[in-house]
Every structure is written in structure tokens, then in C-alpha cells.
């Protein structure tokens, strides 16, 4: 059966598309993209008034399996991704056991075979992500990991990080680093500044991130590795990366929607869903990140999807788990706050949330063209909805955006030519 999507407003400047087009899908491929395709008995989807773009790639997702299935599973995490308009996610290695060996990576790949979206494994830099002994990086590379990271745990030892970069370079793997000097952050729970003082909470200074960003840039320059900075959150870190790029260092970075939209003031009601790592930063930090977004300086957008159980987020702010469940709100938040407000356009979104992640991870990201894999989404820019965490496909209901009224929502997601998510009429159905 061929599926014909008609009358949609298509954005994909890399493939010269910016206007109304019909898209014909056959099998798992795009058969044709033309201004007018006649219906010859195809299954037809009328996308009049809707936006069609390649389905997004999230390169920073915590699927929690194996070991923390009460928080999330590969199945539920991928269903959340499909609902959010993603066709692929990169799974961070901080599972239990840690993805520092082929057995765990192969387990993830096996579980992913029946998932709603594609899953690309990230291997741990060090054994058990303790920052003490390198993982068998060559073996992990042969198993098919797309990058190396101890995400959630900084590699504090500079010698270990140097050797990791050298090994990663030999296997052409990027290193994704969670930049945090734990000697400075210690048991902090929010950004150190005016609001942490007023709220009586232990702060994490911006310098805790910036010092490690500076160190990793120096080591990346020394080793020639591709360094990717995870969830960059401060003005100082941004300036360090921009200066490094100007002198030719192979460094990229990502920013999360929540760091673009929220500040440390959001913690004022001690809502544990505002507790994230790195923390929500100052108004100035947020402003500078938004300026970088507007200037086209941000390489990647990523959710840092970190689902937790209700109990994980229960109780005092000090003891609640860090993290936001972000896959199902990211696209709508970005549309409502930045695309609709003409701060960025759809093609800029695709650069940061599709093409660049695909390039960094070296995975297929050809966009909307004949012969490409049929990974696309249909977005309804007129849909007005309220974030209801009870309707999340993710097990993690921990979102600071609950109750927010948004305009624009993903309506249909195709992965490999198959419709895996359908929200027409508010169905909110997973179909794989």
C-alpha cells in the first residue's frame, strides 16, 4: 500500500523544499515529492493547513532500561518519542548495568527492534561510569555505539579524559561530555545566585560547568577529537565554545528547551519538577542562550529526557531526583515560543534537531527527498492544547510545563514509512 500525503506545507531547505507539496510513500521510502501527485488508489492523508518536516532526532535521551524499568523502558520511551515527533533517539549509557560492554549494548539493540522509533546506543567512556578505568572503547565501537559519554557523571580525571579522547579518535567516535566540576557543585540542588539565597537552597555555581567546558576544549584541541558538550547552560560556557570554534577546535554543543525557557526563579515554589542537572540558570544565562538560538549559533537542540517515578520526585526539593521528561513537549514548546514568534524558522529547527544530530552521530538523515527513508511528521500549527502529564506515553510524568497552554502539536509521525503515532481528533494513539 502506498500512502499519499496531500496539500501539506513542506519545509526542508536542504532538499529545496519550501512550499506546498504532495509526498508519496511506498514501503519504507519516499517514492516522490512533487507539487501535485494524482491519487491512483493510494491511502490518502489530507494535510491541508498542516506542516510537514522530517521527523526529529534527539541525541540525548535516557531510556533507563536495563535496570530502571520503573522509570522508563525502551518501549515507553520510544512511544513518547513517537508522540513528540521523533523518529530516532540516542540512548545514554547510565543504565544498570552501565552500557560499558557489548552485552548491555546488544541488549539495548535487541529491545529496540520492536520499538516505535529507532534507538542508537551511546557507550560509556569509563567502566561503570566511575571515571576511573576506561571502557573497552574499541569493542564498544565494533558493537555499534554512536558516541561515548559518562553522561550524568563527569569524568573528573583529566588524564582519563585525555586517553578516552585518544582512543575515541582512533575509532572516529565523538565524545559527549557532561561538564561539571563536582568539587564545586558538591551537593548543590539549583543554580547558585540570588534565588538560591532567597530560597535557602544549596547552589551550583556556573563555574562548575564552565571550568570543565574549558578543560575539555583544551583536551579536544590537543587530541583532535570531536567534542560535543551536553546540555550547555551558561553564558560563560557559550563564550568558551564560540572562542574555541573560532580557532578551529572541533567542538559542538547542545541546549535543552527547558534551559531556553526557564530560569532559576521557577524553583520558587519548590516544585521538584524544576530540579534538573545542570540546573535552571539565571535570567542572563537564558537570555544569552536565546540570543545564540536567534543568531544560529546553537548546534543541536536536545531534550535530555530524564523520566522518573512519582516517588523519585516526592518530598523535599533537596532530595528529589534531577530531571525533566521532555520528549512529548519539546517540539510544541519550541514552536509556540520561538517559531511562532519568528525567533527561528522551521529550517533552523531542522538544522539543530535533525541534520546536525544526524551528522554528529553519523546516522541517516537525508530529509524529504525521493529514495530517502520515510521519516516525517505532520504538525498542526493551529492545535491549542494544554500539557497534561497524565496523557504522557512516557512513564515519567515529571514536567515543569504541566498545565501550560500551547499552540501547535505533532499530529502524525511516520518512521520508516509506517505511521507510528496518530493524534488526529485528539486520539493520541501509538500504532506500531
Report the catalytic residues. 304
CA 314 to chain CA centroid, Å, is 25
How many C-beta atoms surround the C-beta of residue 239 within 10 A? 14
CB 45 within 8 A of CB 56: no
Rounded CA-CA distance 134/127 in Å is 6
Local structure of 363: helix, strand or coil: coil
Rounded CA-CA distance 227/102 in Å is 23
Rounded CA-CA distance 118/105 in Å is 14
Local structure of 161: helix, strand or coil: helix
DSSP state of 331: H
Query: What is the torsion angle, in degrees rounded to the nearest 10, for the CA atoms of residue 430, residue 151, residue 302 and residue 136?
Result: -80
CB 366 within 8 A of CB 374: no
Q: 2-12 and 43-46 as β-strands: parallel, antiparallel, unpaired?
A: parallel
Amino acid at each position: 500500500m502506498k500512502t499519499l500525503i496531500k496539500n501539506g506545507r513542506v519545509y526542508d531547505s536542504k532538499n529545496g523544499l519550501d512550499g506546498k507539496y504532495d509526498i508519496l510513500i511506498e514501503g519504507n521510502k519516499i517514492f516522490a515529492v512533487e507539487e501535485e501527485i494524482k491519487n491512483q488508489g493510494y491511502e490518502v492523508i489530507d494535510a491541508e493547513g498542516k506542516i510537514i518536516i522530517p521527523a526529529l532526532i534527539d541525541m540525548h535521551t535516557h531510556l533507563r532500561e536495563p535496570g530502571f524499568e520503573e522509570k522508563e523502558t525502551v518501549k515507553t520511551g520510544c512511544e513518547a518519542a513517537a508522540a513528540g515527533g521523533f523518529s530516532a533517539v540516542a540512548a545514554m549509557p547510565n543504565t544498570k548495568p552501565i552500557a560499558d560492554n557489548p552485552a548491555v549494548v546488544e541488549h539495548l539493540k535487541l529491545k529496540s527492534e520492536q520499538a516505535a522509533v529507532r534507538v542508537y546506543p551511546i557507550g560509556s567512556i569509563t567502566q561503570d561510569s566511575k571515571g576511573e578505568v576506561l571502557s573497552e572503547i574499541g569493542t564498544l565501537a565494533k558493537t555499534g555505539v554512536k558516541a561515548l559519554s559518562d553522561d550524568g557523571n563527569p569524568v573528573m580525571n583529566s588524564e582519563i579524559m585525555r586517553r578516552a579522547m585518544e582512543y575515541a579518535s582512533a575509532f572516529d567516535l565523538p565524545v559527549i561530555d557532561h561538564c561539571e566540576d563536582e568539587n564545586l557543585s558538591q551537593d548543590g540542588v539549583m543554580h547558585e545566585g540570588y534565588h538560591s539565597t532567597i530560597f535557602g537552597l544549596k547552589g551550583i555555581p556556573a563555574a562548575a560547568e564552565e571550568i570543565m567546558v574549558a578543560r575539555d576544549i583544551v583536551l579536544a584541541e590537543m587530541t583532535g577529537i570531536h567534542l560535543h558538550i551536553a546540555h550547555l547552560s551558561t553564558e560563560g560556557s557559550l563564550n568558551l565554545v564560540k572562542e574555541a570554534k573560532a580557532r578551529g577546535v572541533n567542538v559542538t554543543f547542545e541546549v535543552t528547551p527547558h534551559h531556553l525557557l526557564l530560569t532559576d526563579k521557577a524553583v520558587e515554589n519548590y516544585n521538584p519538577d524544576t530540579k534538573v542537572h545542570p540546573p535552571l540558570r539565571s535570567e542572563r544565562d537564558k537570555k544569552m542562550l536565546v540570543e545564540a538560538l536567534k543568531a544560529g549559533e546553537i548546534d543541536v537542540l536536545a531534550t535530555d529526557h530524564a523520566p522518573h517515578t512519582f516517588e523519585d520526585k516526592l518530598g523535599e526539593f533537596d532530595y528529589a531526583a534531577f530531571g525533566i521528561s521532555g520528549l512529548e513537549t519539546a517540539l510544541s514548546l519550541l514552536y509556540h515560543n520561538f517559531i511562532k514568534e519568528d525567533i527561528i524558522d522551521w529550517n533552523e529547527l531542522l538544522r539543530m534537531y535533525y541534520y546536525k544530530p544526524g551528522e554528529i552521530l553519523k546516522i541517516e538523515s537525508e530529509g524529504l527527498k525521493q529514495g530517502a527513508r520515510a521519516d516525517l511528521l505532520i504538525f498542526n500549527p493551529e492545535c491549542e492544547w494544554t500539557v497534561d502529564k497524565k496523557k504522557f506515553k512516557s512513564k515519567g510524568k515529571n514536567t515543569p510545563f504541566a498545565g501550560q497552554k500551547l499552540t501547535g502539536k505533532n499530529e502524525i509521525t511516520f518512521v520508516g514509512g509506517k505511521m507510528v503515532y496518530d493524534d488526529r481528533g485528539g486520539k493520541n494513539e501509538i500504532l506500531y
